[in-house]
Structure 1
Amino acid sequence: MLESSCLMDTLKKGKVAVALSGGVDSAMAAFLILQEGYEASGVFMHLNQNDGQAMEAAKRIADRLAMDFHIIDLKKEFENEVIDYFITSYASGLTPNPCVKCNKKLKFGALLEHIDSVGADFLATGHYIRKKSEKKDGCLSFKIFKGVDQKKDQSYFLYTLDQTQLKRLLFPLGEYTKDQIRLMAEINNIQALDKESQDICFLSGKGEKPDHNIFLRSHLKLDSGKIMDYEGRIIGTHKGFPFYTIGQRRGIGIGGTGPYYASEFDKKSNVLFVVNRFDDPRLYRDSLISRDVHWIAGIHPQTPLKCSAVIRYRHRAVECVVENGEAESLIVTFKEPQRAVTPGQSIAFYLDEELLGGGTIHS
């Protein structure tokens, strides 16, 4: 029997640390926790020197809600676990997913370990996901489901969570839409930073493509090379593989005959192959291999497994069959060919609304 993850389910007694980012989602997570009558404090992950404004906003929110406020210094861990991973992935010709890594190593790793130091039993965050518990043979286990707001659902980033972590985690926003959360904040005069989470939080500016490229230039040795089509024609020069992802059009500066889309990287010859149609068959794959696989239940499901998969954030889920491959990898075969399958990105597996687990796209 599945039960709702509303706080009474998991939280009998105990104190809650709320991860405050300075934004409205984490602020309202704290508000909802307090509304349930529980004692709570705010914690802020200090990750780099650019987060001073967010830290101040988080402190104001904690003051507004009459909560203690704690700064957890995780700059060293962030550098070692997330930024180094980001750089080495691109250096290896992969497109990283730093949010998945940060959730695994920092927010639900180092931060969850640190909440004991502030006297908390549980950690609450502003993620739009739902957690539910299941009792079977006297044992309690936990499952993750997509948030009610499908546009804001963040379950894709959380496939690395395990049962031990889930036992101590609360997600108060899962049953709400973003519009409801904004309205609730306005009614209760809770002011937060007017920002949405950006794709790469440690970049300067807004974390957009120009900031991304500047960061890569400052951390990697980039070798330019030929841009070619599949007929062997040289049609331009690329600036280095890390500036491109499969299926990308933007940034391929070939004038006059475009548009062109990145299709394949030949590392040996340092050639970027392109196609000039958005729907060119060479941009599509009907299968992939995934590694570093994790199942939330802690048990590998029976295969072949029929489920659905998401190959990038906010991408439409597609039906697939999952089978065991070599060296603990998975072979995923799609019902419909998928465009721009990108090594280094994450794939998440679902059964209807339930998140089963996921892994890294290898090839």
Structure 2
Amino acid sequence: MKRVVVGLSGGVDSSIAAYLLKEQGYDVIGLFMKNWHDESVTISSECPWLEDSNDALLVAEKLGIPFQTIDLSEQYKEKIVDYMFNEYEKGRTPNPDVLCNREIKFDVFMKIALSLGADYVATGHYCRKGEIEVDGKPVYQLLAGKDGNKDQSYFLCQLAQEQLAKALFPIGALTKPEVREIATRMELVTAEKKDSQGLCFIGKVRLPEFLQQQLQPKEGFIYEIPASCEKYQQKLPTFNSKEEALQFEATPIQYTPADGKKVGTHQGAHYYTIGQRKGLNVGGTKEPLFIIATDIATNAIYTGQGHLHLGLYRRTLRVQPSEVHWIRQDLRLENGQTLEVRARIRYRQELQKATLYQFESGLYVQFDEPQSAITEGQFVAWNIGEELVGSGVIS
């Protein structure tokens, strides 16, 4: 009997992951990760981790599997929270969920599980694992979940072969309704529980308030850039190479206050992200304002009216050489090579047709259609068919 440690989060997905593994004859252990101590930033009087760990315990008792809580809050603070503050301070927008999987669940947590004699670690992610042979060696694939509406492979886009080798995703072939149906049949306490929407494992946190703990408010101006801005009418320069053209396309427009008009004030450019609409508190425009750029150096925010504003769209993005990550090392591009893929720049975005171009200066992802709100610090992930083969941090 192979031993599997399941990350029981107190939600329905991980509950059913544990149930299915037990049905398949594995020796299952449930572990709950406590990743947060600081009650001062979780919203409302409810203490989400206590409630969640209780539910996880009840599920483990019902399934008859051993259970314990492990405290990873120190590692979480160091690897996720500090990183987030750091990124926001630089004007980038990190994705804590992707990081949490790479640094916590499939690293710190996995090491603890293996030290308990586990052969595998299982989570309640909606994705699947495949295995093929390349040059006589096993190669693991990260495949989309069968429930197109819930596919979570994007959140695992930074995993490596060694991590996938030890991972199991028991619910990847099920849909959410099927998962709830099993939980109801089993009379599990988590059957009707809502999906958690907070930061990965921290629970219900309002991001601006969370960030204000470390990043001091600093008043600045909000500018509105008209659709008629000259910078959108500029003629394209002549390029000597494809790389030069891509570099140009991947560079965001730099705005100055002179390009638009002052429409309001804000509490700090580092609290805001591109594509954001809420929280600006500027009224009186025909269409809602969207953030099209932030400038940390001058503490300015630039906005445009409507979701079709030209300032929101770009066709190309760049990933720095050190931040290109291939799950499928055998598909890695050499300098000068290209690859047609389908890519996304955020969770739940429809996959978009794109071409990868690898140069010494980095990897360029050029989409067939311009994309809205390409945001520095977020992850771009690319697929071949239903397999996610690589990813990188948008620079």
Q: Deviations over 1:135-168 (max 9, x none)?
A: 3443211101100001111100111111111111
Partner Cα distance (2:306, 2:25) in 1:
57
Q: Deviations over 1:283-333 (max 9, x none)?
A: 100101123121112241352010011101111111111111444x21111
Q: Deviations over 1:31-88 (max 9, x none)?
A: 0001111111111112113511111111111111110112222111001001101111
Q: Which residue of 1 is the match for residue 264 of structure 2?
A: 236
1:197 aligns with 2:196: yes
Give yes or no for contact 2:380–2:391 (8 Å, CA) kept in 1.
Answer: yes
Give the counterpart of 1:221 among 211, 216, 224. Answer: 216
Task: Rate the CA distance shift 1:103–1:44 in 2: closer, same or farther, 3 A.
Answer: same
Give the counterpart of 1:19 among 1, 4, 7. Answer: 7
- Whichever residue aligns with residue 195 of structure 2, its letter is E
Partner Cα distance (1:183, 1:62) in 2:
18
Q: Deviations over 1:98-154 (max 9, x none)?
A: 011110110000011001232211111100001011134432111011000011111
Alignment of 1:153-164 (within 5 A): 153-164=151-162
> 1:249 Cα deviation (Å)?
1.5
Partner Cα distance (1:203, 1:59) in 2:
18
Give the counterpart of 2:25 among 37, 41, 53. Answer: 37
Q: Which residue of 2 is the match for residue 260 of structure 1?
A: 289
Give yes or no for contact 1:203–1:215 (8 Å, CA) kept in 2.
Answer: no
Give the RMSD, CA atoms, in angstroms: 1.6
Equivalent pairs, count: 345
Alignment of 1:260-279 (within 5 A): 260-279=289-308
Give yes or no for contact 1:122–1:170 (8 Å, CA) kept in 2.
Answer: yes
Partner Cα distance (1:225, 1:20) in 2:
44
Alignment of 1:75-114 (within 5 A): 75-114=73-112
Q: Which residue of 2 is the match for residue 296 of structure 1?
A: 327
Which segment is superposed worse, 303-312 or 42-51?
Answer: 42-51
Q: Deviations over 1:205-248 (max 9, x none)?
A: x34xxx21111122211222111123431111122113322122
1:358 aligns with 2:386: no
> 1:280 Cα deviation (Å)?
1.1
1:319 aligns with 2:353: yes
Give yes or no for contact 1:203–1:212 (8 Å, CA) kept in 2.
Answer: no
Partner Cα distance (2:319, 2:198) in 1:
22
Partner Cα distance (1:159, 1:354) in 2:
10
- Whichever residue aligns with residue 268 of structure 2, its letter is G
Q: Which residue of 2 is the match for residue 251 of structure 1?
A: 279
> 1:89 Cα deviation (Å)?
0.9
Task: Rate the CA distance shift 1:294–1:215 in 2: closer, same or farther, 3 A.
Answer: same
Structure 2, unaligned runs of 5 or more = 38-46, 226-258
Which segment is superposed worse, 193-202 or 272-281?
Answer: 193-202
- Whichever residue aligns with residue 297 of structure 1, its letter is R
> 1:203 Cα deviation (Å)?
5.2
Q: Which residue of 1 is the match for residue 380 of structure 2?
A: 347
Give yes or no for contact 2:273–2:294 (8 Å, CA) kept in 1.
Answer: no
Partner Cα distance (1:164, 1:255) in 2:
51
Q: Percent identity?
A: 38
Q: Which residue of 2 is the match for residue 172 of structure 1?
A: 170
Partner Cα distance (1:138, 1:233) in 2:
63
SS class of match (1:106) = helix
Q: Which residue of 2 is the match for residue 120 of structure 1?
A: 118
Give the counterpart of 1:332 among 361, 365, 368. Answer: 365
Partner Cα distance (2:306, 2:135) in 1:
56
Give yes or no for contact 2:383–2:390 (8 Å, CA) kept in 1.
Answer: yes
Give yes or no for contact 2:269–2:295 (8 Å, CA) kept in 1.
Answer: no
Task: Rate the CA distance shift 1:304–1:166 in 2: closer, same or farther, 3 A.
Answer: same
Deviation beyond 6 Å, 4+ runs, structure 1: none
Calculate the TM-score normalised by the size of structure 1.
Answer: 0.91
SS class of match (2:303) = strand
Q: Which residue of 2 is the match for residue 280 of structure 1?
A: 309
Give yes or no for contact 1:99–1:199 (8 Å, CA) kept in 2.
Answer: no
Partner Cα distance (1:235, 1:71) in 2:
50
Give yes or no for contact 1:286–1:335 (8 Å, CA) kept in 2.
Answer: yes
Partner Cα distance (1:346, 1:248) in 2:
17
